Structure 1
Amino acid sequence: MLRRFLLVLAVTLPGAAWAQAPQGDIRAQLTPRDYTTLAAEIGAKVEKIAVREGERFTKGQTLIAFDCSVQRAQLTEARATLSAAEKTVAVNKRLLELQTIGKLEYDLAQAEVDKARAKDSAGAAVVAKCQVPAPFDGRVVEQKARSQQFVQPGQALLDILDDTELEVDFVVPSKWLIWLKPGYAFQVVIDETTRTYPVKLVRAGARIDPVSQTVRMMGTIGGRFPELSAGMSGKVLLTPPP
């Protein structure tokens, strides 16, 4: 009887100990909601970089400007060609009405207008890429290009992130999904500031790790705290219900 009791005790104790796991065992990291690497879409010389590493910017602000004197000249030429082609079509339309020219000649002139308009649109699209605007409010993580440097299409320019809303990224046992749902409020203690911040769970990971039986969780810090930065870590204060 005693042996059976000890066997049951040995089986149940690990589960009970896990359910009462200390809060400090759950580590968390602050991650930005949005982050990206801005790259050049055209081959050109960097004329100006408006922000440097660590500096803040606002959505729509021009972060990088290229020297596009050649591209702008090509756009001016394309627009002049389009204007001339449109005038030719206008004249040919009147001549066609007077039966001075044939329909084929008029159609060829109209085709030249379409071709010139396409070049104008292409040139305008290239010139629009001479400035790189900020896709969101945020900060510069790393500057990968320098002023007066010639860059190629696809070359990385700036690593940026949005730290206006930081997420708390952590991992918990998958069994906690029974009670840990989006909207659940808890707290996190950040090591770098030694302060406690309110967090609300926003989503759970889409897949449970089959080996560790854990799942990734993401929450958001409630409020604005200028002292917090992406990459900081801390401890999640969560206690499973009885």
Structure 2
Amino acid sequence: MSKPIRCKELLLAALALTAWSGHADEYRAEAFQGEEYKARAVIKALDRAVLSGELAARVTQLPKRPGDSFRQGELLLGLDCSLYQAQADKVAAESKAARFKLDNAKQLNELRSIGSLDVALAQSEYAQAQAELRIARLNTERCQIKAPYDGRVVAVLVNRHENIRQQQEVLEIVADQRLEAEVVVPATWLGWLKPELPLTLRIDETGASVEAAVVAISPAIDPVSQTLQLRARLTQPSGLMPGMSASAYFTPAGAGEQS
């Protein structure tokens, strides 16, 4: 009787081992799948710029500091415009005089006192004065740097009363409410990646999860790393900041479309 019992025990052990092996294979497959559809991402701002002064002048107004918010069209930096305003006034007076000279030339031409050449020269002088006036007014407009969009100040690179040179960097700004994610993924995922594919971003700095969707896929593959970059639209960008890093998890339903 002991021999049949021993065979039965061996059979049960073999069946248990087979079941455990199947579960282990399934676990390894799930773990591999989880790693396969995970990638690294970074939060980027759609609008970010370093503003430069277009004139050489002294800084007189600097109402914003790092971290301050602003609205489109709001003053970010003001320069001493006394010299440029005086030049604009001078050119405006010269333009006015050129206009009077042109009107007078036209009247004299009607009276046959001067020829058409004199009228043409007066017209040319007036056009030149108008062009110089536009340049002078453009310079006065450049004395103020205004916000090109809504956002926040990242860094202030100058101080009040400093004299800046032409094209010197003065402010760095960012549109902190217009964000997206840039994700780097293996090129082998091209078989199932497509626009509007959902994904979840887990932010490293806060641990928060944010839903997103693929907006665009890069048309070129990096030949060295065999990766490509895609852009993802964030459904709830509030609480995020440009420069944050994240892990991107693609949904199994989306990855299942590989076949």
> What TM-score do the two structures reach when normalised by structure 2?
0.81
Local SS of the residue matching 1:60: coil
Q: 2:247 aligns with which of 232, 235, 239?
A: 235
Give the CA deviation at 1:189. 0.8
Q: 2:219 aligns with which of 199, 202, 206?
A: 206
**Alignment map for 1:114-129 (pairs within 5 Å):** 114-129=127-142
Larger Rg: 2
- Cα deviation code 1:101-151 (max 9, x no counterpart): 233333322222112111111111111111111111111111111111111
> Aligned-residue CA RMSD in angstroms?
2.0
Structure 2 alignment gaps of length 5 or more: 1-28
1:93 corresponding residue in structure 2: 106
1:13 corresponding residue in structure 2: none
Local SS of the residue matching 2:46: strand
2:126 corresponding residue in structure 1: 113
**Alignment map for 1:151-230 (pairs within 5 Å):** 151-225=164-238, 227-230=239-242
1:44 corresponding residue in structure 2: 57
Equivalent-residue separation in structure 1 for 2:190 and 2:214 (angstroms): 12
> What TM-score do the two structures reach when normalised by structure 1?
0.86
Asked if the contact 1:24/1:235 (under 8 Å) is kept, the reply is no
Asked if the contact 1:23/1:237 (under 8 Å) is kept, the reply is no
Asked if the contact 1:38/1:159 (under 8 Å) is kept, the reply is yes
Asked if the contact 2:157/2:169 (under 8 Å) is kept, the reply is yes
Is residue 2:89 matched to residue 1:68? no
Equivalent-residue separation in structure 2 for 1:190 and 1:146 (angstroms): 35
1:57 corresponding residue in structure 2: 70
Change beyond 3 A, Cα 1:168–1:23? farther
Give the CA deviation at 1:77. 1.0
The one-letter code of the counterpart of 1:142 is A
- Cα deviation code 1:60-103 (max 9, x no counterpart): 21211111111011111111111111111111211111122233
Runs of 4 or more off by more than 4 Å in structure 1? 16-19
- Cα deviation code 1:154-194 (max 9, x no counterpart): 11011111121211112111121221111111111112221
- Range with greater deviation from structure 2 (139-148 or 96-105): 96-105
Structure 1 alignment gaps of length 5 or more: 1-15
Give the CA deviation at 1:213. 1.6
Give the CA deviation at 1:17. 8.8
- Range with greater deviation from structure 2 (139-148 or 98-107): 98-107
Percentage of identical aligned residues: 33
Give the CA deviation at 1:211. 2.4
Equivalent-residue separation in structure 1 for 2:178 and 2:114 (angstroms): 67
Equivalent-residue separation in structure 1 for 2:62 and 2:218 (angstroms): 38
1:145 corresponding residue in structure 2: 158
Is residue 2:143 matched to residue 1:130? yes
Local SS of the residue matching 1:163: coil
Equivalent-residue separation in structure 1 for 2:57 and 2:197 (angstroms): 50
Equivalent-residue separation in structure 1 for 2:58 and 2:48 (angstroms): 25
Equivalent-residue separation in structure 2 for 1:76 and 1:38 (angstroms): 28
Give the CA deviation at 1:19. 5.9
